[in-house]
Chain A
Amino acid sequence: KQEVTQIPAALSVPEGENLVLNCSFTDSAIYNLQWFRQDPGKGLTSLLLIQSSQREQTSGRLNASLDKSSGRSTLYIAASQPGDSATYLCAVRGGSEKLVFGKGTKLTVNP
Chain B
Amino acid sequence: NAGVMQNPRHLVRRRGQEARLRCSPMKGHSHVYWYRQLPEEGLKFMVYLQKENIIDESGMPKERFSAEFPKEGPSILRIQQVVRGDSAAYFCASSRTGGGGYNEQFFGPGTRLTVL
Contact = CB atoms under 8 A, between A and B. Distances in A.
Interface string B3-31: 01000000000000000000000000001
Given A42-B109, A43-B109, A97 B42 contact: no
A51 B101 contact: yes
A96 B104 contact: no
State the majority secondary structure of interface residues on A.
Answer: strand
Interface string B74-104: 0000000000000000010101001111111
A44 B91 contact: yes
B48 A98 contact: yes
A98 B45 contact: yes
B41 A34 contact: no
A50 to B, nearest CB: 10
Contacts of A28: none
B55 interface: yes
A49 B35 CA distance: 19
Contact of B45 (A44, A46, A100): A100
In this complex, the interface size class of chain B, counting residues with CB under 8 Å from chain A, is 20 to 34
Interface stretch (A62-70, A71-79, A101-109): A101-109
Contacts of B102: 32, 49, 51
A96 B56 contact: yes
A31 B41 CA distance: 24
A54 to B, nearest CB: 9
B48 A97 contact: yes
Interface residues of A, number: 27
Interface of B: 4, 31, 33, 35, 41-45, 48, 55-56, 58-59, 91, 93, 95, 98-110, 112
- Which 9 residue pairs of A and B lie closest in terms of their CB atoms, listed nearest first? A98-B45, A44-B107, A43-B109, A103-B42, A101-B43, A101-B42, A43-B107, A31-B101, A51-B101
Given A98-B33, A101-B44, A103-B41, 10 more contacts: A43-B109, A46-B104, A49-B102, A51-B102, A89-B42, A97-B31, A97-B55, A98-B56, A98-B59, A100-B45
17 contacts: A32-B101, A32-B102, A34-B105, A43-B107, A43-B110, A45-B107, A46-B105, A51-B102, A52-B101, A96-B48, A96-B56, A97-B31, A98-B45, A99-B35, A100-B45, A101-B35, A101-B43
